[in-house]
Amino acid sequence: MTVDVHAHALSEWFLADLTRRPVAGLSTARDGKGGYAILREGVAAGTLDPNLHDLPRRLASLRRRGVQRQLFGPAPPFLSWFGGAAGVELTRALHRQSLEIAAASEGLLEPMALPALGEPAQAAAELERAVGEYGFRSVMLPSSAGTCALDDPRFADLFALFERLDLLVFMHPTTGFPVDRFGFNGMNVLLAWPFETTLAVTRLVFGGVLHRHPGLKLVLAHGGGNLVFLRGRLDAAYEAEGWEAHPYYRQAIDRPPSHYLDRLYYDTCTLSTDSTRFLLDVVGPDRVLFGSDYPFDVGDPEGARVMPLIETLAPDTRDKVLSQNALRLLRGAARS
């Protein structure tokens, strides 16, 4: 059995409807290649992979590979972007289309809830309403709300809610910096997104958010970005006593950063056998979950990059990574 905790999907009817009726300033236009382009307030904001809305092809892929459950959210630019993040109106529309996708998936797809980070004062109440109404067991959390960091006190109620509802919280990087800093959007996704995860989690550590919420079930996309490799560097800042010592590193936590990183979970979408092996060695097989980033090419949509390694693991380790860890985190949340 395989449970995939990292995937993206959009409904074609939803995308087609956005060509006629924008939602919260978001619209789409057909790109002439079977897909859609995103427009924000009428300004082009990127294109969408046609496989995001090709449900028959996705279901065939899942069945062929024995994936019995795939958690999914929308493409990242729908959640947060440089200068803004989804509010209540957009998250409600995204929830509706995600539920339609799941209903047509013959039990193979499970939608993630989406927090309305663009309206911090309403985000917790709106998420609680959605979980209560629809039974979401997980949430896809962008790495920032536009340029606003997640350790901002305005999101304190939201993190408390994540913990109280026992949700699997899947953090996916989004764009918090101008794309032109990286040359073009492809480089932004390639390089900046792993950094966005690294920055977001480092701030959650030093800002005390993870200290205050020890029960938070936070899963990081792309193997945690650069965090696993940088553990020692973060600990060195906490332990520094010389001229580089800074009160920020100790003001909100009483353990080294690696203590908090050891509480987190990491997907297998590192795109490198060596990196995935390193991840397993450092954080242990109880903290690693299979994630494909379907349907993106700079991902592992068919599991081809990681499965050769997973198949060499001891049976109990393999089962943990492929399904047991995910099922354990989902158990106890809204939908049983």
| Residue 336: CA count within 13 A, CB half-sphere | 1
State residue 32's pLDDT score. Answer: 84
- In order of their start, the domains of the chain are 2-10+50-330 (3.20.20.140)
- Sequence-distant (6+) residues with CB within 8 A of 7 are 70, 71, 72, 73, 291, 292, 293, 294, 295
Q: How many C-beta atoms lie closer than 10 Å to residue 283's C-beta?
A: 20
Q: What is the model's pLDDT at position 332?
A: 74
Residue 336 pLDDT: 38
| Three-class secondary structure of residue 135 per DSSP | coil
pLDDT of amino acid 334: 58
Give the ranges where the chain is alpha helix by DSSP (H): 12-20, 55-65, 88-103, 120-134, 156-164, 185-187, 193-206, 209-212, 227-239, 257-261, 273-283, 307-310, 315-319, 325-330
- Could you list the mean pLDDT of each consecutive 10-residue stretch along the chain, which spans 336 residues? 97 96 95 89 90 97 98 97 96 98 98 98 98 98 97 98 98 90 88 96 98 98 98 98 96 98 98 98 98 97 98 98 98 64
Short-list 174, 172, 84, 161, CA closest to 128: 161
Start-to-end C-alpha separation, the chain: 18
Instruction: Look at residue 136 in the predicted model and tell me its pLDDT.
Output: 98
pLDDT at 329: 98
Spatial distance between the Cα atoms of 73 and 87, rounded to a whole number of angstroms: 15
| Residue-level pLDDT at 262 | 98
In this structure, what token pair is assigned to residue 118? 């663009």
Q: Alpha carbon of 179 to those of 81, 84, 114, 153: distances in Å?
A: 10, 14, 24, 27
Name the nearest CA neighbour of 71 among 214, 205, 215, 170. Answer: 170
